[in-house]
A and B are shown apart, each in its own frame.
Chain A
Amino acid sequence: MTVADVVVVGAGQAGIGVAAALREQGFAGRVTVVGREEHAPYERPPLSKSYLGATPVDERHLGLRAGGWYADRGIVLRLGEEVREIDRTAAVVVLGSGDRLPYDHLVLATGTRARTLPIEGGDLDGVVVLRGLDDARLLRRHLDRARTVLAVGAGFIGLEVAAAAHQRGVRPVVLDVASRVMERAVTSTTSRFFADAHRAQGTDLRLRTGVGALRGRHGLVTSAVTTDGAEIQADLVVVAVGVVPDTALARAAGLRTDDGVVVDAHLRTSDPAISAVGDCARFPEPVSGRSARLESVQAATDHARCVAARLAGRPEPYAAVPWFWTHQGPLKLQIAGLGGDLDREVVRGDPAQGRFSVFGFRDGRLATVESVGRPADHVAARRLLAAGAGPTPDQAADPAVDLKALAAVAP
């Protein structure tokens, strides 16, 4: 059957990416994107960075596309509407308003939801999460009056918020039960560098420490009691303890899920008329050969292109190299590939100078490269990982080896 009617659930980076890529691929059928949020589709990365900083980016510039873009391309946006149910037998989705939208192909781009803290005081005013624009607006309002912000979780979001708060003159405290910052995402070398840098800026970073309860006055948070019994004064608490993929719709429709909507190498769910993309999709990651769910702009846009190409009649298995960046005040980190279970790490450059890359190897092959202040390493790494080539650990360590040249001859 030819696909004439594509419905996308979720108007975030991945969902809008699908609509854009479909038109770029020359898809002439109907494209409808349903999004729960009222806002015109926007970018999330600045929400924890420049949007919170001393000279905030204007909200109007967060838009993924300008206003008229959607109509000009015949893309129907249904904002402020939620898909409540997928009726796979009839091939329709049911909206909160009761409307039923038929589809030939359905794309789930439902993203994730922020985890909350099920602790005493977790519902006090001044306790916030950061996932969407509404959250960011609320957080910014609180930052305007806060003296100390406590970030619970030393992952990307917690550290980005701490850095932005610092730029505004709000004192940051960061807690994490893990023994090092960004533990799940980066090597210990990079972790240590960032922990030291945040501390040098004046962030009170406490590791191996959790929050037991939050206390408040007149309904507003005033302090946190840690798991080791200390009390930390804070008039704003940002809960940044990770996200859960939004799989409710998929599960209710009987699709396979497992910490994400499970898809194959073509990003098809267990129903071939339904695909899943972006943060909500668990897919066979081609570079590491593992099943992965990635929370990155790169995965969202590359997934979108892969699905759009298939729907436009040019199917190719997903092959993109994962990459990611984070800005934490003046500190920038670029990551290519996926870490975890590395058997060798090689540092190129000098962490003491704030310019280094960590090359991680798994089974003797290059698996990941983390770069701080060395963007050329990052770009070369992406090419090398795409080619499945790569320096040996000795080459990676040798500053005389030109990675760009190596990447240029990679097959």
Chain B
Amino acid sequence: MPTITFRQPDGAELRVDAPVGTSVMKSAVGADVPGILAECGGQAMCATCHVYVTDDRALPPVSDEEDEMLDCASAPRTGHSRLSCQLVVDEDMDGLTVLVAGEGP
């Protein structure tokens, strides 16, 4: 099973098993990763699952709805911003590190 590392703004890290096919957000919630509130349960409706992905491996493109919600996230949006609920885990994500952006709106 792929593992994903969630790094907090203070540098603390949590390595999490992420089953293929679930979202990066779900794997975070399942491991109680702080700062991933996921208030809407993954419907791209709350932006409380905002992460920064600096790793330059190929990820699916940002959809329109993800794009709109990212503009509303409480932590600043950068070129690395993603909604972790919109990232579906695949084998290629093994070893990915994402930075938790902080609490939502």
Footprint of B on A, CB under 8 Å?
A: 20, 23-24, 43, 45, 58, 60-61, 65-66, 69, 297-298, 301, 325, 327, 332, 334, 373, 375-376, 378-379, 382-383
Contact = CB atoms under 8 A, between A and B. Distances in A.
Contacts, number: 47
Contact of A375 (B22, B26, B69): B69
A332 B65 contact: yes
B40 A375 contact: no
Interface of B: 19, 21-23, 26, 29-30, 32, 39-41, 43, 45, 47, 65, 68-69, 71-72, 105
A43 B41 contact: yes
A376 B39 contact: no
Contacts of A58: 21
A45 B42 CA distance: 10
Given A297-B39, A376-B72, 15 more contacts: A24-B32, A45-B43, A58-B21, A60-B22, A61-B22, A61-B26, A66-B19, A66-B30, A297-B40, A325-B43, A332-B45, A375-B45, A375-B72, A379-B72, A379-B105
A313 B72 CA distance: 34
Given A65-B29, A334-B45, A382-B105, A298 B39 contact: yes
B86 to A, nearest CB: 13
A383 B30 contact: no
A323 to B, nearest CB: 8
A23 B47 CA distance: 24
A327 B43 contact: yes
A24 B32 CA distance: 8
A394 to B, nearest CB: 24
